[in-house]
Each structure stands twice: as structure tokens, then as C-alpha cells.
Structure 1
Amino acid sequence: MNRRLKAVAALGAIALVAAGCASENETGGDSGGKTLIIGVDLPFQGASADTSEATYNAMQLYLDQIGGKAGNYTVKLQKYDDSTAAKGGWDDATCSKNATDHVNNADEVAVMGTYNSGCAKLQVGTLNQAPDGPLLMVSHANTNPGLTKAWEPGEPEKFFPSGTRSYARVITTDDYQGAAAAQFASKDLQVKKCFVLNDNQTYGQGVAKAFADEAAKQGIQVLANEAWDAKATNYTALMQKIKSAGADCVYLGGIYDNNGGQLVKDKVAVLGDNKGAVKLIGPDGFTGYEDFQKLPAGEGTYLTFAGLDASQLKSAGGKGSKLLADYAAKYGKEPASSYVLYGVQALQVILAAIEKSDGTRKGVNSQVFSGAGISISAADAVLGKDLKIDPATGDINVRDLSVLQMTSGAEKFVKPWPLP
């Protein structure tokens, strides 16, 4: 399913800016360091707006707590909205424009984001060819495998035309998430016939395929894997088709933004309660949405989250638990999505790269994708585990997955799911 930072450019470009105006790039601090920008590229409109705003706020809170510094550099965040009000979610043209804007912001040395894998796939190639780059992107929520490993034809090489990798993430990928959901459906729910739906987007197609492939291996009959029309006024006919096929399971591969509320309401109206004869299962693309949490028809839906959910992070103590408490104290409530802390974890990776670098785009990126890469100790990481970004791929060494269930209007943790 699915999240924006900014920073530096070449020293020559900074010198030109400083010569032309009162420089915001000079900190005047004890190190004489400069200010670097981390772009935060998220959908700040539509169904994901609350999660995006909370992610940005948590990142800013963390940055304020550490004094706004990474080594000798002052660091600032800059918002980039990759959504439109008309679409109510991320937008292809806006994502592409944002990529150009990131590149043209001379002080930007990294991007935290995006939330949606499809948006990332539109941006990474442009960022990879940035002047004085590549320009690093670290995502907290992109789960499509093809951004870092072989998946669709030409992936992931086509995203790195410079020949140097520049994309990393701190979350588990859909080849694991989809497979885990299918294993849970077979072993715990003991379903026999699943009808798989996808939202016809990059993320949804990928996680639906992973679920369907593993479901077949688990002995579940996959009745179909077909797309739902996000612009449909209702899905009654589709649900009648699923009912006629004899399904005891419906899997929703996609994001809630794509008319997921109507889809779930019609599922319950035709196929019955989600705790009944026909189970409803969704991926992380349906987590973190307050509208879905408030939807009566959503009750009983099983969800997978491609990481640790907030309840596990809170119970573990450490920096993640403290940050959640500080967030709640400042904003009066806890963040709706567990992806919020993963946004801060992605920020920690970028800050570590900046601290070790020479302050240039190339220097920041090379800290992640050469030598020993970036490691963060369990004592420092907000996820509370020893973390390492693989410099060969950009993937994280830790793979976690949580099974949740919508219960009384909230995502309740059910169990962790073992991953290979």
C-alpha cells in the first residue's frame, strides 16, 4: 500500500544563493554549517490527509527534540503535497511535478516519502538524475517490491538510470505482506475459496498478486483476481458475482482512497458481516483511515500492516513509545496510523546519512548506498530494533508484519505474523 524530506545541493550553488540575498543557508552556529532541506512528499488531501499531517507533525516534533541538527548541519523539513482535492488522493501529474520541484530545490538533499508506491515509481527516476545527485529518497510506507528488487519487467533497474541506487525504505514489502495474509487466511481463518480484488494501481495489483499466488500454494481456491472500478457508484453487482461464486473470503488489494468505503459497505450488504461466513481481508492500504475506522460495515475486517503496529511499539518502551506519548501530549490524541512512526524512522535514516556526509546530494546518497551503509542501534531507533539499510538494495534488514482486526471502531492488534 503506503509517505517527504529535503536538503542540500552543490557548494557552488549555495554560494551563489548566499551572494545574492540574505542567506538562510548559514546557520551562524558553532560549526559554521549550512541548512539542508528534507522534502516530505505525502498526500495532504483526501482520505490519507490525517495520516500525512500526523506523519509530518511527528517528524517535526522529533526534529525539534534533537535540536534540528544532523551533525554540523541544520535541517529543515519542507512539505510537498502529491495529492489533489479533485482526486481525493495521490495524483500522477502532481507526483511527477513534485519530482521536478525536488530536483530544482538546490538546498534539498533528500526526500522522505512517498506514501503510495505508484507515486514513488513516478519520482525515483527523476530524483536519480538530479544535478549533484542522485537525490536520495527514503520511504516509510512504499511496499511494492519492484522499487528495490526484481518484480515487474525492468524493475528495479529502470528506476536508477544513473547506474547508482538512490531509493531506500524502512518497511516490509508486499511479496511478504501478501503471502502472510494468505497464510493467515488459510491457517487461522481456514477459508477455502477467496475472491481477490485489486484497485488497478501499482500497489494494489502487487499485493493482490502476492496474496493470490500464496493462497494457491496454501490450498485456497482463488476464484478470480480482478479490478474494482474506483469511480463506481456501487458494487452490488460485483458482490452478487462473488456470492454466486461461493467465496468464503474476499481480499481487497488496494487503498481505501479508491472508494474503499463503498466497496466494504456493499460487501456487507450482499455477503454479510465480516465476522460471518465470508471473511473480509485487506492490506495496509486500508489501515490508518479514520473514516474506515468509523464505518460500521468495516467491523470485523482483518488487516495486515507491513510492520509493527503502534500498540507493540508502545508496549516495547524506548524512543518510539516516548515519541508517541509526546505526540499525544502535544496534539491531544495519538496518530491514526502506525505509519507515522515509520515516517520518523525514515527521517532517522536520512539524518544519519546527512551527519556522515559532506552536505551534498551525492554525499548524502553515498552514505546509504556505499561502504557499510546506514545502521541505527536499537537504543536510538524509534522502532526499537537494530536497523540496517542494505547498501546493495535499499531494503531494511528487519521484516515485521502485524495482523489487525477492526473492532469497536479501532484497529486492534491480533498477532504478529512470522515471516521467512
Structure 2
Amino acid sequence: MSRTAKIFATVAVAGLAVSACGGNASGGADDSSSGGGTLVIGVDLPLQGASKDASEATVNAMQLYLDQTGSKAGKYKVKLKVYDDSTAAKGAWDDATCAKNAQDHVGNTEEVAVMGTYNSGCAQIIAPVLNQDPTGPMLMVSHANTNPGLTKAWDSGEPEKYFPSGKRSYARVIATDDYQGAAGAQFAAKDLSAKKCYILNDNQTYGQGVGKAFEEEAKKQGIKVLGNQAWDVKQPNYTALFTSIKSTNPDCVYLAGIFDNNGGQLVKDKVKVLGDNSKVKLIAPDGFSGYPEFDGLAQAQGAYITFAGLTATTLREDGGPGAKLLDAYKKKYGADPATSYALYGVEALQVIMQAIEKSDGTRKSITEQVFSGSGISIPADKSIVGKKLDISPKTGDVSVRDISVLQLKDKEEKFLKPWPVS
């Protein structure tokens, strides 16, 4: 086969090459038959726009973990190749770029698995392409995709349409939005005594999913759902939208979406028309977590945010591998990661590395380690999240389903309480 190199524009993140790039069809290790070689793990994240800080922190944390472990998974040397799935023009993840990255992952000869994506909509594009890789399927493990349909029945044709080969190849280390959306609604009802809530979604996969879950649980909790409406991300302002919402007299607004989609303007106009967040409570899912721009907004102070996992603050207090990595990260970079999802990026990396260690170094074998037998299990004393973590070989979902409730105060997302999920 031809090994002609393709050259693409790159930017630097923690000394790594970052691109939307690839090569040719891949089989696995450079020298797996003689006991070793170097394997590449692709990292697919939005590195431009509002998600830039969170994505860079995730890459940095993963590389720090590799440095600490000698970049070894069994007999194989491991390195990262970072792909940008966003565009400068959009300032967020981009459909066409995700589609291109999918082809490039499959085409890169040394790449054996993918860590990512951050956005569920991008994963929906990439997962079925990796699943049809003739040398695979190729494993994909996400640290942040929360849309339920990627692994279980949710919308029409899900999750089967992401696995056209008939074999599973996608897993994740985070709780899903059927839990997160429900937790947000339970918190609104039980802790905030909300009676009437209006839902705004960003009309994307993630936003629609978490909004649907919030709405269903809110009704069970006795909250009157006044509406579930999409906001137009291209609007210069939302005063007319919130003026129409004001007539319904809500005591709660739930923003089901990502901050990248003009969330700053949305929050400003919510406060301008409906009042501050002590008057009409503002609740958002983790699509608004980890954005310094959001945290710094005067109008965002007092907002509640759910996070589909444990926060860096909690993990540091609990001690263990997560706390040690956080301390090392802070020593190297001068601050904690911009997002708690950075640690889940490391957790996803742990899953991939265990699969590599148990495999023969080929894509097919690596994926089979996750989706056959007992699957992947990481003991609590090794797991970055400090809990025993199992990946179901039937679904690719994780056994640990933590939800944290945060409140934005003094420009910081402060841990408020854990929320039990069932």
C-alpha cells in the first residue's frame, strides 16, 4: 500500500502535533509480531472557540499521565495524536471537520483507537465510520459524550445505526443525559422548589437529548414545563425570546445545550428580561461547565450547573490517583485543569491502554478486549476517578454514574452537592 504522507496545518498543544489529518489504512503496531512497537491513540477535540481551554487541559492531562506511566501499555509504546474537530469560523465543533477526521483516523497507519469526542453530535458522525474500518472495528472511547443514543435505545434507529458492522466499537466513561437531565429536574424540584420551568435547547444532539430528559423528569416531579423551545444560535440577542417567555411567569429556566452556541448572549438576555438568577433560577447541564468566559459573566453568577461526573475539587479531597494527578498538573501548569472532564479524558485513556495491553496490537484485537468476555475493569486504586470502573462489554457504558451539582459563585464553579442517580 502507498504510504504517501499528507501534510496539514498544525498548531501546538503541550508540545504535541494537533491537526485534522491522517494517512492510510492501519493495521496496528509497527512491530507487534516481535513484541512491541509504537501505537498511536487519536485524540479528537474542539481546539478553537469556547471549548479551547477545556480541550487543551484534557490533552495536557492525558500527556502528563502518559509521562508518569512511561507511555507504556504492556509491551507497547503509546503516543497521542491530537485532531481538531472545530473550525475558527464556527468557533465550535463542525460536522464536515468531524467527518474528515473520521476518515483520517481510519487512514492513519499507526493509529489504533480514538479518545473523544467532546460533543455527542461529532461522535455520531465519527463512530459509524470507525465501526466500518476493514481492519477493525476501531475503538472509540469518550470522556464527555452524554447523549444516551450512542449506546442505548433513545431516538429512532439508535444505537444500531452507529454500529453498521453489527459489532460494538464505542464506549464512554461518563454518565448519560437520561441521568443528568433527570438529576437537574430533581434538583430543581426538591432543592429549589421550582414549580414552573421553561426549557431552551440549542437544537443539537446533546441539547435536545438532555432537554428531553429534563422535561420528562420535571413532569414526574410535579414541575409544569412551560415550553421546550430551540434558541437560534445566530441571533444577535434574545430579548424578544425572553419577553415571550416572561409572560408564562417561570421560576426556572433550563438551558439544554452548549455554551459555544451563543450561550453568553443567551444568559445576558435572560437576566436582562427575567431578572437575576436568585429571582428566576438558571440551571444548565455540563454543556456550560468548564468555560472561563461563562464563569466570568456577571449575569451567570448564581447559576446552577450539573456535571456528569465528579469534579476536580471532589477528587482532590478524596485523595488517590486523581488527587495525585491534579497536584502534578497544578505544579506543571500553575492551576487546575479548566474542566473536570480533563480527568475523564485520562480515565478514557486508561480504558484504551488496558485494552491495548491485553491485545495483540491490532485495531480488531484492541476493540475485542472491550466488547468481549468481562470487558474492561479498572480497580479503584488505579482509577483516576477513585472508584472501580467497569465498561459493559454489551453496551460500552460505564458502571460509575456520578452526577455533581455546582453553583457559580465569585466566577468559580463551586461544588454544591452530589446527586444520587438510580
Partners of 2:131 and 2:268 in 1: how far apart? Answer: 42
1:328-374 residue CA offsets vs partner (Å, 9 max, x unmatched): 11011111111000000000000000000000000000000001110
Residue 118 in structure 1 maps to residue 118 in structure 2: no
Q: What residue in structure 2 maps to residue 373 of structure 1? A: 375
Q: What residue in structure 1 maps to residue 9 of structure 2? A: none
Q: What residue in structure 2 maps to residue 185 of structure 1? A: 188
Q: What residue in structure 1 maps to residue 303 of structure 2? A: 301
Q: What residue in structure 2 maps to residue 40 of structure 1? A: 43
Pairing 1:118-267 to 2, within 5 Å after superposition? 118-267=121-270
Partners of 2:31 and 2:63 in 1: how far apart? Answer: 20
Pairing 1:61-140 to 2, within 5 Å after superposition? 61-140=64-143
Partners of 1:245 and 1:371 in 2: how far apart? Answer: 53
1:275-312 residue CA offsets vs partner (Å, 9 max, x unmatched): 12x10000000000010111111100000000111111
SS of equivalent residue, structure 2 residue 240: helix
Q: What residue in structure 2 maps to residue 329 of structure 1? A: 331
Percent identity at matched positions? 68
Q: What residue in structure 1 maps to residue 355 of structure 2? A: 353
Q: What residue in structure 2 maps to residue 414 of structure 1? A: 416
Residue 270 in structure 1 maps to residue 273 in structure 2: yes
1:238-291 residue CA offsets vs partner (Å, 9 max, x unmatched): 111111111111000000000000000001111111012x10000000000010
1:308-332 residue CA offsets vs partner (Å, 9 max, x unmatched): 1111101010010010110011011
Partners of 1:323 and 1:102 in 2: how far apart? Answer: 28
Partners of 2:410 and 2:275 in 1: how far apart? Answer: 17
CA contact (8 A) 2:390 2:399 kept: yes
* Aligned amino acid, residue 348 of structure 1: Q
1:52-103 residue CA offsets vs partner (Å, 9 max, x unmatched): 0010010000001100110000001001000000000000000000000000
Q: What residue in structure 2 maps to residue 10 of structure 1? A: 27
* Aligned amino acid, residue 131 of structure 1: P
Partners of 1:88 and 1:320 in 2: how far apart? Answer: 31
Partners of 1:9 and 1:355 in 2: how far apart? Answer: 18
SS of equivalent residue, structure 1 residue 413: strand
SS of equivalent residue, structure 2 residue 400: coil
CA contact (8 A) 2:26 2:107 kept: no
Partners of 1:60 and 1:157 in 2: how far apart? Answer: 33
Partners of 1:32 and 1:187 in 2: how far apart? Answer: 57
Partners of 2:135 and 2:106 in 1: how far apart? Answer: 10
1:106-144 residue CA offsets vs partner (Å, 9 max, x unmatched): 211100000000000001000001121000000000000
Pairing 1:273-292 to 2, within 5 Å after superposition? 273-276=276-279, 278-292=280-294
For residue 26 of structure 1, report the CA deviation from its aligned partner. Answer: 5.7
Partners of 2:366 and 2:285 in 1: how far apart? Answer: 33
Partners of 1:291 and 1:318 in 2: how far apart? Answer: 31
Name the TM-score, length of structure 1 as normaliser.
Answer: 0.93
* Aligned amino acid, residue 114 of structure 2: V
CA contact (8 A) 2:26 2:106 kept: no
SS of equivalent residue, structure 1 residue 76: strand
Q: What residue in structure 2 maps to residue 316 of structure 1? A: 318
Q: What residue in structure 2 maps to residue 399 of structure 1? A: 401
* Aligned amino acid, residue 184 of structure 2: A
CA contact (8 A) 1:9 1:359 kept: no
SS of equivalent residue, structure 1 residue 314: helix
* Aligned amino acid, residue 321 of structure 1: A
* Aligned amino acid, residue 235 of structure 1: Y
Partners of 1:34 and 1:152 in 2: how far apart? Answer: 41
* Aligned amino acid, residue 287 of structure 2: G
Partners of 1:97 and 1:34 in 2: how far apart? Answer: 27
SS of equivalent residue, structure 2 residue 385: coil
CA contact (8 A) 1:103 1:131 kept: no
Partners of 2:27 and 2:119 in 1: how far apart? Answer: 29
For residue 32 of structure 1, report the CA deviation from its aligned partner. Answer: 4.4
For residue 193 of structure 1, report the CA deviation from its aligned partner. Answer: 0.6
CA contact (8 A) 1:402 1:416 kept: yes
Partners of 1:332 and 1:26 in 2: how far apart? Answer: 39
Q: Which runs of 4+ in 1 moved over 2 A?
A: 6-11
Number of aligned residue pairs: 401
For residue 9 of structure 1, report the CA deviation from its aligned partner. Answer: 3.6
Where structure 1 has 5 or more consecutive residues not aligned to the other structure, the ranges are 15-24
Name the TM-score, length of structure 2 as normaliser.
Answer: 0.93
Where structure 2 has 5 or more consecutive residues not aligned to the other structure, the ranges are 1-18
